[in-house]
Structure 1
């Protein structure tokens, strides 16, 4: 069953909380968090790993001390000793999101900010770009992020990162919450990349959040209309005696 879990963070966490978090994550994550120049980036990194460890412990009964994390050739992390457990993390602004399942899954969250729509002309297929231009002006920005997060969630689902051009496939909106993978315009598929995408059986889900964020999930099975599961960031903290 696909599960999507979210954590909303305050603007800044106290120093003692950051210290507790660093003692509860991997040495690699701890060291990386100390290299960030902005505290917001450091705490998103720490909370992301703590959220994943919480899910693996509570949902899969896996002990963090015994986990061996690897990465595929494109950089997507996986559990080397538990191939049946799949997960994907995304963060933006004040949110950290983790999707997990027993099969591949991808998730993307983006903060809605003003953009130059030339980005869409460059990265979207002609059908997606036309859909965007035909939309009422007041809805165009939200639609851009709907399409962008759906496409990013698919790329993360496949696990091949930026090696997949965003215009080598299209997402077609079915209704307010779902979409389907479709072929680009034949003129745009000169490399024949659509054949690789066609072999991927996947389902999309757009999850409604407030107007400041867009969230999309891609998985191997229908995700259904259940809401995002919420955790308070304090639930991820180790006990004080842990350090």
Structure 2
């Protein structure tokens, strides 16, 4: 059975202050120490809630206590669960949202809040084929297309799990209507991509071995997570 779960959690969730102390009890001491180094509250929230959301999705889909989940990073920085070799997850955050994908296969996700379009940056990070497709579009369409490409490229790199040892120009995407096509010499699997948006200002992408529908993304509240965690309170 294939498992793919995608979820969004807002850092502006009104339950944050209510459940904050209870939720931090479930993360590792090392992660708590790292979070304390953040100077901005929003950075702290994103770091904490990314950990909490991943624990919730892994616990609810792989029948494990949230506090028993041990997070580690591979040599390229991709996170994995040490004691669950058949559980895969990936996290991204931007602006007010944390986005997480969990599966029993490799998965890569990305979310980006749309800001001002920088064509110089686009020329640097996109393959020539992608840049040419971008610059022929109208201004508004350029902004949307830029973030579609950016999140797709990030999701694919994170799926591969080798960081920027996979050069950004070694693969490219073509987006025609609703179709997303990857051209890469490194592509070993038949991959599927999801590209969608939230609130018309956040672009989201996911890379997986299985087809994913846009309505598969669930928006979860901290109350839901905290209620689930309560059964594991020591």
**Normalised by the size of structure 1, how large is the TM-score?**
0.86
Alpha-carbon distance in 2 for matches of 1:33, 1:242:
22
Find the counterpart in structure 2 of residue 28 from structure 1.
30
CA pair 122-16 structure 1, distance change in 2 beyond 3 A: same
Q: 2:220 aligns with which of 225, 228, 231?
A: 231
Residues 36-70 of structure 1 deviation map (CA, whole Å, 9 limit, x = unaligned): 00011111111111111111221111123333333
Residue in 1 that maps onto 2:204: 215
* 1:14 to partner: Cα distance: 6.1
1:186 corresponding residue in structure 2: none
Q: How does 1:160-179 map to 2 (within 5 A)?
A: 160-176=162-178, 178-179=179-180
**Partner Cα separation in structure 2 for residue 43 and residue 33 of structure 1:** 9
Quote the residue 1:119 is aligned against. Answer: 121
Instruction: Report the Cα distance in structure 2 between the residues aligned to 1:12 and 1:74, rounded to whole angstroms.
Output: 35
Cα distance between partner residues in 1 of 2:210 and 2:74: 22
State how far apart, in whole Å, the 1-side matches of 2:162 and 2:17 are.
Answer: 37
Match for residue 206 of structure 1 among 190, 195, 198: 195
Q: Matches of residues 98-177 of structure 1 in structure 2 within 5 Å?
A: 98-176=100-178
Task: State the alpha-carbon separation in 1 of the partners of residues 70 and 20 from structure 2.
Answer: 24
The alignment yields a C-alpha RMSD, in angstroms, of 2.2
Relative to structure 1, is the Cα distance of residues 17 and 65 closer, same or farther in structure 2, using a 3 angstrom cutoff? closer
Unaligned runs of at least 5 residues, structure 2: none
TM-score normalised to structure 2 length? 0.89
- Distance across 2 between alignment mates of 1:219 and 1:3: 11
Corresponding residue of 1:189: none
CA contact (8 A) 1:2 1:99 kept: yes
**Alpha carbons 1:207, 1:227 under 8 Å: kept:** no
Between 1:138-147 and 1:19-28, the stretch displaced more is: 19-28
Equivalent pair of 1:18/1:43 in contact (CA under 8 Å): no
CA shift, 1:11, in A, is 7.7
Give the whole-Å Cα distance in 1 for the aligned partners of 2:67 and 2:4.
Answer: 25
Gaps of 5+ in 1: 184-193
CA distance in 1, matches of 2:65, 2:14: 29
Instruction: Give the 3 Å change call, closer, same or farther, for CA 26–205 of structure 1 in structure 2.
Output: same
Size of the alignment, in residue pairs? 230
Alpha carbons 1:12, 1:39 under 8 Å: kept? no
Deviations 1:200-221 (A, max 9, x none): 4311111232211000000012
Deviation at 1:226, TM superposition (A): 3.0
